[in-house]
Amino acid sequence: MKPARFEYLAPTSVEEAVSLLVEGGEDAKLLAGGQSLVPLMNLRLAQPSVLIDLNKVEGISSITESEDAVVIGSMARHRAVAESEVVRRFLPLLAESAGHIGYPAIRARGTIGGSIAHADPVSEFPCACLCLHAEFVLTGPAGTRQVRAEDFFVSYLTTALSPDEILTEVRFPKPSPGLGWGFLELARKTGDFALAAVAATVALSPDGTCSEASIAVAGGGDRPLRMVEAETMLKGNQGDDVIARAATAAATSSNPPSDIHSSGDFRRQMIEVLTRRVLTAAWGNARRGE
Ligand SMILES: Cc1cc2nc3c(=O)[nH]c(=O)nc-3n(C[C@H](O)[C@H](O)[C@H](O)COP(=O)(O)OP(=O)(O)OC[C@H]3O[C@@H](n4cnc5c(N)ncnc54)[C@H](O)[C@@H]3O)c2cc1C
Class at the top of the CATH hierarchy for domain 180-287: alpha beta
Indicate the domain borders of the chain.
Answer: 7-53, 63-173, 180-287
Alpha helices, H only, the chain: 14-24, 37-42, 78-83, 85-90, 92-98, 104-109, 112-118, 124-131, 149-152, 228-234, 240-253, 264-287
114-150 pLDDT per residue, tens: 999 999 999 999 999 999 999 999 999 999 999 999 9
Please list every protein residue whose CB sits less than 6 Å from any atom of ligand 1: 29-37, 39, 54, 74, 101-102, 106, 110-111, 113-115, 117-118, 120, 123-124, 161, 166-167, 193
Fold (CATH) for 63-173: 3.30.465
d(CA 227, CA 68): 25
Cα 77 to ligand 1 centroid, rounded to whole Å: 10
Over residues 226-251, mean pLDDT: 97
289 confidence band (pLDDT: 50, 70, 90): confident
d(CA 65, CA 288): 25
Q: Supply the pLDDT for residue 290.
A: 61
Condensed to tens digits (0 to 9), the pLDDT of residues 193-238 reads: 999 999 999 999 999 999 999 999 999 999 999 999 999 999 999 9
The pLDDT, as a whole number, for residue 43 is 95
What is the residue-averaged pLDDT of the chain?
97
pLDDT band at residue 243 using 50, 70 and 90 as cut-offs: very high
How far is ligand 1, taken at its centre, from the CA of residue 141, in Å?
A: 24
Please report which confidence band the pLDDT of residue 26 belongs to, taking 50, 70 and 90 as the band edges.
confident
Residue 107 alpha carbon to ligand 1 centre in Å: 10
Residue closest via CA to ligand 1's atom 5 equals 102
CATH number assigned to the domain covering 7-53? 3.30.43.10
pLDDT digit string, tens, across residues 42-62: 999 999 999 999 999 999 999
Interface confidence: ipTM more than 0.95: yes
